[in-house]
Amino acid sequence: MSQPNLESVSMPSVLKKKPVMNIYTMLLIISLVSLLLGCLFLFLEIREYGGFGQIKGKISAVSPSGISPVHAFWA
């Protein structure tokens, strides 16, 4: 009996395989894009109100009537 010729047979290897793009990879990409867009919109919203650290102090010090929102709710 003769031995099989292994040079003519193409055996699959890890080095020749192309990474598979499946539905889970697409879901990861979609979630990454949505998180980045959410961070961008949050940053733009904060900049619209004066940036980081502009409002300091208690809520009652910032409210226009001087009454905290909790007291205004029960009044």
DSSP 8-state symbol, 17: P
> What residues contact 52, with CB distance under 8 A and at least 6 apart?
46
Q: Where are the domains of the chain?
A: 20-54
CA separation, residue 39 to residues 31, 42, 47, 58 (Å): 12, 5, 12, 26
Write the single-letter amino acid at 11.
M
pTM: 0.49
Closest CA to 58 of 70, 47, 45, 44: 70
- pLDDT tens for 19-73 read 788 999 999 999 999 999 999 999 998 888 877 777 665 555 555 555 555 655 5
